[in-house]
Structure 1
Amino acid sequence: MSSSSNQAFYDISLVDGYNLPMGIIFKPGNNSKLMDIPPNLTNLICIGTATYLQPSGDAPDTAFGSNSTYPIPLEQSISTQAVLKWCPWPLQLNPPQKPGDGVYPYPDDNIARPPFNPCLSACAKWNQDQYCCSGSYASPTKCKPSYYSLQAKKVCPDSYSFAFDDQTSTFVIPEGGGFEVVFCPSGRSSNILATFGNQIREVARTGVVTPEIENLAQNKTCIAQKSDAMLNEPQASLIALIVVLVWACFW
């Protein structure tokens, strides 16, 4: 909540797994400079449970500060079915039971999953260096996201998905405020850092919300365009395809 650089650092981490939806609300208190920071730059949400996911276009709970003036950028593409099945089959904490004869294709996604089923990360499940970014993989250049990490990032873009996920997962703001943690919110996951990452870092560095940042935080068209651009990013799709193929070969 404070540091030698006069900044506060916070995040939601799925590095060890996922068990329930969560959100973090920044509380500026009576600090006038912190009160100037738009809430759609600071209040993140992670909803990876299908029963808590709201349809595309719906705003999160107004408790997160999302309103007509400062709409929180949201992940809008993932469906309820996709959220229900995002956890890789072998990483489910309580995988569905096999049919009576014990024979079925692996994995068989025709078997209904529980509506609420925690998911272990690849690191937590297998404790191997390539998944835990440890040993010979203990550097950002050598440790890459696993299939679990890519799936988690689709569901919760603002959350840590593996150990070196700093740039797309760490929120940095001027110190002096507080935080409220919300368990099991409903709505959709936030996609703030992909939209306002540069602006958040500027506010953290200078402690000032410029008129340009203020205007951008209210620009609904810009928010929608940045979200669309991220959804159509070809490199991310290519990486996901490669990792899926490697995962399939491994299993």
Structure 2
Amino acid sequence: MSKTNSLSAMRRSPSLSRLLLAAIPLLCLIQTVSAYHMNPFFERNANPLPRPARWGPPMKRDSIPLVISNNCAETIWPAIGTQAGTGAGTGGFELSPGNSKSLTVSGDWQGRVWGRTNCSFNVAGNGASNLNGVDGSGAACVTGDCAGVLSCVLTGRTPITLAEFDLAGGTGGEQTFYDISLVDGYNLPMQVIYIPGNNPKLKNIPPNLTNAACIATAGLMSAPAGSGTSGNATTTANPLPYESRQDSKSIASWCPWDLQVKQPTKPGDGVYPYPDDNIQRPIFDPCLSACAKNNLPKDCCTGSYNDAKKCKPGLYSRNAKAVCPDVYSFAFDDQTSTFVIPTGGGWEVKFCPEGRSTNIINTFKSQLGALGQSGLTKAIEDAAANMTIIEEGAKKSGAERVRGEPAMGRGSLGALVVVVAWAVLC
């Protein structure tokens, strides 16, 4: 059929036109809906008991504290997603610098928390404002947007730094699983801080065993050190083991060039070669994962690559692990990124925390294994205060940062058309 005839057919068929127009918003949501990749450790060790997802908040007798804190210099819009159990009764809100919001979730809650940046909502919070230049339609946030609404019901658009929780994991629901995930990209520094509860197995738990952080933004990381204290995340008696190899220069350029959301202009484009690593990047430099950008089986460990022997970490994952050793960086990285402790207590998710990225799992691997199974013991407490163990942990930081490899794979022409259409329409 010719182009003219195709257009004529659309004019003669209002229902077809309406159908195609209705599909446009769905195209805009494709990235949002498909963005989230859950840690497979959570699935393999899932609580078999039914836990229907409820909006919340929970009854007081079944409530667990969930505190969201903004230590960034700018306003952010945290978002919360619930997969099981009872959520906080909100899917997102505005949070100005230096402020925290105290919420509660149920003891069997499974969900995630992320941050959105540079948002502009309408008064009702159900769409973007006219200030975003798209007449109140499309995304309301530069990163983490969830269909343009303030209170999210969908996962945020990549790239997003995610805190993932299952507060009642394991066969009997007696273990808490959590991680900081960069599988869907990185937008904001984040720390997860344990709030002690009533579980005797976790009484006086050393904070340097639980309070993981990922700081991969230039200018927000402290100077290289093997250990240190980070705000309310730890104490001088139990300093956090830090990633100690990265400096401000490597942090500024860890994201593979073609995975930056907005690549800086190369001064030599079209004239002479210009090395990517010598180009000044913005401080706020959101980074897509290879999976989030390419959606290829080899990057996402899907299809024939759904096998730990075949799907290996790519450049993005290796770099992410180098700057943030405790993060979940690709599908089969769950064994070196999942924290497991007995249930009980609450959680704080802090954006733009003080200090450096942590290296807890490499430092206290055996102690964390024992903690997850049996709770706190004197031997674990002693190890968490042992400066020799902590400083040695700094030498076990993630792999050295790798440069120079292209991160973007080849895609089909059809995929290119979809990407271009998404960019134009959304």
TM-score (norm 1): 0.88
Distance 1:72 1:136 in 2: 40
For 2:326, the equivalent position in structure 1 comes to 158
Q: Percent identity?
A: 53
Task: Please tell me whether residue 2 in structure 1 is matched to residue 168 in structure 2.
Answer: yes
- Offset at residue 106 of structure 1 (A): 5.8
Q: Is the 8 A contact 1:60 1:188 kept in 2?
A: no
Task: Please tell me whether residue 103 in structure 1 is matched to residue 268 in structure 2.
Answer: no
- Offset at residue 77 of structure 1 (A): 1.1
For 2:230, the equivalent position in structure 1 comes to 61
- Offset at residue 107 of structure 1 (A): 4.6
Question: Using CA pairs below 8 Å that are at least 6 residues apart, which structure has the higher relative contact order?
Answer: 1
Task: Find 2:210's aligned residue among 18, 42, 57.
Answer: 42
Q: Is the 8 A contact 1:46 1:189 kept in 2?
A: yes
- Offset at residue 53 of structure 1 (A): 0.7
Q: Is the 8 A contact 1:174 1:203 kept in 2?
A: yes
Task: Find 1:118's aligned residue among 271, 286, 303.
Answer: 286
- Offset at residue 246 of structure 1 (A): 6.4
Distance 2:366 2:335 in 1: 10
User: What is the one-letter code of the residue matched to 2:383?
Assistant: L
- The 1:50/1:101 distance shift into structure 2, 3 A limit, reads closer
Distance 2:372 2:189 in 1: 27
For 2:367, the equivalent position in structure 1 comes to 199
Matches within 5 A, 1:222-233: 222-228=389-395, 230-231=396-397
Matches within 5 A, 1:17-36: 17-36=185-204
Q: Is the 8 A contact 1:121 1:148 kept in 2?
A: yes
Secondary structure of the structure 2 residue equivalent to 1:173: strand
CA RMSD of aligned residues (A): 2.3
Q: Is the 8 A contact 2:231 2:354 kept in 1?
A: no
1:183-214 CA-to-partner distances (Å, cap 9, x unmatched) read 1113100000001122111111112x222111
Secondary structure of the structure 1 residue equivalent to 2:276: coil
User: What is the one-letter code of the residue matched to 1:2?
Assistant: A
Distance 2:204 2:281 in 1: 44
- Offset at residue 227 of structure 1 (A): 2.3
Secondary structure of the structure 2 residue equivalent to 1:12: strand
User: Which deviates more, 46-55 or 24-33?
Assistant: 24-33
More helix by share: 1
Give the number of the structure whose alpha-carbon radius of gyration is greater. Answer: 2
User: What is the one-letter code of the residue matched to 2:296?
Assistant: Q
Task: Find 2:388's aligned residue among 198, 217, 221.
Answer: 221
Task: Find 2:219's aligned residue among 47, 51, 62.
Answer: 51
Task: Find 2:378's aligned residue among 190, 211, 218.
Answer: 211
Distance 2:268 2:373 in 1: 60
Runs of 5+ unmatched residues, structure 2: 1-166, 411-426
Matches within 5 A, 1:161-176: 161-176=329-344
Equivalent pairs counted in the alignment come to 241
Task: Find 1:128's aligned residue among 264, 289, 296.
Answer: 296
Distance 2:279 2:368 in 1: 43
User: What is the one-letter code of the residue matched to 1:80?
Assistant: S
Secondary structure of the structure 2 residue equivalent to 1:193: helix
Distance 1:18 1:40 in 2: 23
1:154-177 CA-to-partner distances (Å, cap 9, x unmatched) read 110000110110111000000122
For 1:93, the equivalent position in structure 2 comes to 261
1:46-93 CA-to-partner distances (Å, cap 9, x unmatched) read 00001111102373423112x221111111110110000000000000
Task: Find 2:307's aligned residue among 123, 139, 142.
Answer: 139
Q: Is the 8 A contact 1:2 1:176 kept in 2?
A: no
- Offset at residue 179 of structure 1 (A): 1.1
User: Which deviates more, 24-33 or 164-173?
Assistant: 24-33
More strand by share: 2
Distance 1:22 1:165 in 2: 19
Distance 1:133 1:95 in 2: 26
For 2:345, the equivalent position in structure 1 comes to 177
- Offset at residue 9 of structure 1 (A): 0.2
User: What is the one-letter code of the residue matched to 2:244?
Assistant: Q
Q: Is the 8 A contact 1:172 1:204 kept in 2?
A: yes
Distance 1:96 1:246 in 2: 18
1:73-127 CA-to-partner distances (Å, cap 9, x unmatched) read 1111101100000000000001102338643426522221111100000001111
Secondary structure of the structure 2 residue equivalent to 1:18: coil
Q: Is the 8 A contact 1:53 1:186 kept in 2?
A: yes
